[in-house]
Structure 1
């Protein structure tokens, strides 16, 4: 449809029809244009900015905005007063006088193509939302079944004073834990440095990170990774709608570091979750390799030089570095988290040794850009984007390695409330993967050992529930034998089965502490401390199940980072973001 004065409309109509398009109608007033648009819903409207009557082209466009018809303005406004208002209606283009056939063809074809792309994108998102809502229902059913079966087994066993079944159940995961602990003692495959090291894009999502972002940027921007005397990396920080001083700090740092770029995501598109933030950064990333860090990350200056050779293999698409806690001495909780991350690193190291089947973490993950692109980027609906990406990479046949020679330092949460909030999100991500991804994992052509390794990894929280319930049962029996000279609760599995089921938790922790050069007395005290700390996995399981059963949509809970201001008292310890309603972020790109 064309909306312009009659002589101009007829001329444009003839030119448009000559290039192969049909014009359903023409008019010269906004009032008539609205009626025609409602009746015929044309694929595109060409409308003059100045029209006859009491309604101009911009006002007309606003009236029919709800019809989602692409608008192209015919720039007949010689004063230019309404151009700014026209831009605010998000048109598909402008055509200036004289209305040349070539320009008309170019702008119209571009508008049609762009409209088709947008419609396809909207359709894809709608399909994704439907699929994810279906998955949400599946998760609720699976969680209800899981908590029902596990609670029934535990309660019934206490009523009948017999937990023999649990000894058999825990035998296999205990064997796996012992096997991984022993495999961890072997040496990893040697790496070969690149002849020409790849250019790296380091990305840091940031939301309200005023306490840590400066130390993070200074640490990452100063890494010693050069090629032919030039910095071989760039640093992109994506400021995701921060309401504190994060933007101010980044603006100041941008003047200091010429390789720092800042993307600012603004409402209403900001605050949708880490995956969307990373995908926005990916759009402008120049690197062949993408390195993802949290806003509290700190690294040694040789970090990239040490870790990059692990990617120098055609089949290896990702590598995870070790994670250490820089505030581990703050209290018992932070010290135990440091041990926990060390243990996770050793498990991933063992899986690397056994077949380069490691897992990526949220901080210090290094991935080839081609692999992320091949998988369609990070999944915006995933609660734990790192686990989701790891599984999709391995199902695709990609290999993931582990580098323990260098590490990324991060801040541990110092309170139990923060810990449960953070770990509930991690557990939800594991259960999502367990219930939704397991069919795809089983249908993939992965080797049996790798398939088992993935499923064992994402079953962590349910297995640990039974492991620590088992410790409680064992404690009750030890107590009853000491005071009454007999066991209250029966566990009648063969001795070797019961023994392995009972000790499977400890070898990995001992080896992890020994690798960090703890003294023998310190190893003993920390093993006991970590064992006690790990009992939080029992209430965490039920908290996670409750959240998954009661949630109506996926939310992403951001961990609060306090940095050197760790003693501050804060009201909001975490921010929750809705997941899944972000089609295309509004981005303000700012680089020096």
Structure 2
């Protein structure tokens, strides 16, 4: 994208930030009759739709969302597994060994590891592994090749020949029969793409990893519910399966965004390609283990989440998607991105003007729905436990943990409104422990 496009993003960020500012200011600056009643009505709408979305999981929890019939080897499509790796010496050998132990016809499986300018021992390890595994394809890029993870994946597309692509992170773990069950699910639902539920391997490491485990389960609850109600679902980077022709028709991976998965999700929605959500088997990965890493990760997610709406927002109001999908996207955009900013401004105005906060019912409603999804996601039958032991206190603390988004979203939006963006690969450190 051109520098002008980045300026356009900055302008849209500023307009969005300004709109949130005035939405928070107006009820404090003007005595609007019955305004609080309007807030209560909006809170009811949020509860109503959110409850419907969560309730759609009841059926999924009672009936397995995989298919009983095992696909024969002859029916299975050719599959390319793509892993973009930079400085992954701690986990890359373990990943490759596990991938080659998966149940899948070896003549239909190719594994591509993209060494994207690693400066550690990753290239040496991959060189050794490529001699050990004939079907392992190592693709190398220079450190300044550009495009981040998306650039690495697009580069690998030039060499891949599979009908389907499975994108994994270097710390990913799959159950041995995951691929077979995944394609049974694809055949049953006729999906263009599938996202495996993400699960945490180091769940019991500390409080933050436990919260992230519950957060991933909560996310899957909302994802499955949104798909069931409105046909809206999203990819999550690690554990995303997509038909290669569908990906190419959408323009491959966007190298001008910091979250290729969220960007691609909207483009798939606009092209009417369906993304299935598979609860079991999950894809497992490491959760970040300290606050600095968490905040850095969430800033990237927040920025990428906003970028996609700024980039494709005009198309979302056309006839490319139906009314219910527009409502769903608006609903979650407001809760995820607008509400944190409005709430912070509302609090500032309340303190400055010695006034009472106005928008607290909506915030309480959002946290309440998250708490329900936290609890339900942690209680659902799962092949990989979300928590070693779930209890009310842990659910309460995890909901409190979610409040970090009310700081991250405003801060990221302010930065996007002021500073030009450079697309850099800010990877998450994987320890392999």
What TM-score, normalized by structure 1, do the two folds share? 0.64
CA contact (8 A) 2:85 2:169 kept: yes
Q: Does 1:207 align with 2:75?
A: no
In the alignment, the residues of structure 2 paired with residue 350 and residue 222 of structure 1 have an alpha-carbon distance, to the nearest angstrom, of 33
Secondary structure class of the residue paired with 1:402: strand
Instruction: Quickly say closer, same or farther: Cα 1:131–1:179, change in 2 above 3 A.
Output: farther
Pick the aligned partner of 2:411 from 521, 536, 543.
Answer: 543
Is the 2:171–2:432 Cα contact (8 Å) retained in structure 1? no
2:172 alignment counterpart:
297
Contact 1:180-1:508 at 8 Å conserved across structures = no
Which of 391, 399, 416 is matched with 1:531 structurally? 399
Cα separation, 2, equivalents of 1:563 and 1:366: 25
Structure 1: distance between partners of 2:14 and 2:303: 14
Q: 1:258 aligns with which of 134, 137, 150?
A: 134
Matched, 1:176 2:176: no
Gap change, CA 1:467 and 1:259, over 3 Å in 2: farther
SS of the aligned residue for 1:327 comes to coil
Deviations 1:342-370 (A, max 9, x none): 11111112233335532111100000001
Query: Within the alignment, does 1:448 sit opposite 2:289 as a pair?
Result: no
Map 1:297-336 → 2, pairs under 5 A? 297-312=172-187, 316-336=191-211
1:148 corresponds in structure 2 to 21
Alpha-carbon shift at residue 155 of structure 1 (Å):
6.9
1:365-384 correspondence to structure 2 within 5 Å? 365-384=240-259
Separation in structure 1 between the aligned mates of residue 363 and residue 126 of structure 2, nearest angstrom: 56
From 364, 368, 374, the equivalent of 1:509 is 374
Counterparts in 2 of 1:326 and 1:519: CA distance versus 1, 3 Å:
closer
Contact 2:25 2:345 in 1 (8 A): no
Q: Does 1:248 align with 2:103?
A: no
Separation in 2 of the partners of 1:434 and 1:539?
20
- Report how far residue 324 of structure 1 moved: 0.6
Residue 384 of structure 1, CA deviation: 1.0
RMSD, aligned α-carbons: 3.4
* Structure 1 contact 324–341 (Cα < 8 Å) conserved: yes
The reply on whether 1:411 has 2:314 as its aligned counterpart is: no
How far the C-alpha of 1:561 sits from its partner, in A, is 2.1
Helix, strand or coil: the match of 1:243? Answer: coil
Question: In 2, are the aligned partners of 1:206 and 1:295 still within 8 Å (CA)?
Answer: yes
User: How many aligned positions are there?
Assistant: 417
Shift in CA distance, 538/499, structure 1 to aligned 2, threshold 3 Å? closer
Distance 2:144 2:12 in 1: 28
Change (3 A) 1:281 1:204: same
1:139 aligns with 2:18: no
The 1-side partners of 2:363 and 2:400 are apart by 21
Stretch of structure 1 that moved more, 334-343 or 346-355 = 346-355
Partner of 1:70: none
The 8 Å contact of residues 181 and 350 in structure 1, kept in 2 or not, is answered as yes
Cα deviations by residue, 1:180-217 (Å, 9 ceiling, x for unpaired)? 11111123776465451111100000111111212222
Is 1:389 aligned to residue 251 of structure 2? no
TM-score by length of 2: 0.86
Q: For residue 450 of structure 1, report the CA deviation from its aligned partner.
A: 2.2
Contact 1:315-1:398 at 8 Å conserved across structures: no
Give the aligned partner of residue 238 of structure 1.
Answer: 114
CA pair 373-263 structure 1, distance change in 2 beyond 3 A: same
Instruction: Quickly say closer, same or farther: Cα 1:252–1:520, change in 2 above 3 A.
Output: closer
* Counterpart in the other structure of 2:276: 401
Q: Whole-Å Cα distance in 1 between the matches of residues 142 and 387 of structure 2? A: 51
Equivalent-residue separation in structure 2 for 1:353 and 1:454 (angstroms): 14
Unpaired stretches in structure 1, ≥5 consecutive residues: 1-127, 477-487, 566-592
Distance 2:12 2:367 in 1: 31
Task: State the alpha-carbon separation in 2 of the partners of residues 491 and 375 from structure 1.
Answer: 42
The superposition leaves residues 441-476 of structure 1 with CA deviations (integer Å, 9 ceiling, x where unpaired) of: 121332222232233344443255279769999xx9
Q: Does the residue aligned with 1:335 lie in a helix, a strand or coil? A: helix
* Residues 1:424 and 1:412: Cα distance change in structure 2 (over 3 Å): same
Q: Which has the higher contact order (CA 8 A, sep 6+)?
A: 2
Q: Does 1:432 align with 2:311?
A: no
Of 103, 106, 110, the residue aligned with 1:224 is 103
Cα distance in structure 1, aligned partners of 2:134 and 2:156: 17
Instruction: Look up the SS of the partner of 2:424 in the other structure.
Output: strand
CA, structure 1 residues 244+353, in 2 after alignment: closer, same or farther (shift >3 Å)?
Answer: same
CA contact (8 A) 2:147 2:256 kept: no
With over 3 angstroms needed to count, the CA separation of the structure-2 counterparts of 1:379 and 1:325, relative to structure 1, is: same
Other structure's SS at 1:262 match = strand
Per the TM alignment, residue 521 of structure 1 is displaced from its structure 2 partner at its CA by: 8.2
**CA–CA separation in structure 2 for the residues paired with 1:252 and 1:224:** 23
* Distance (whole Å) between structure 2 residues aligned to residue 217 and residue 557 of structure 1: 22
CA shift at 1:129, angstroms? 1.3
- The structure that has the greater radius of gyration is 1
Q: How does 1:93-108 map onto structure 2 within 5 Å?
A: none
User: Deviation digits for residues 423-445 of structure 1, max 9, x if unmatched?
Assistant: 11111111112223121012133
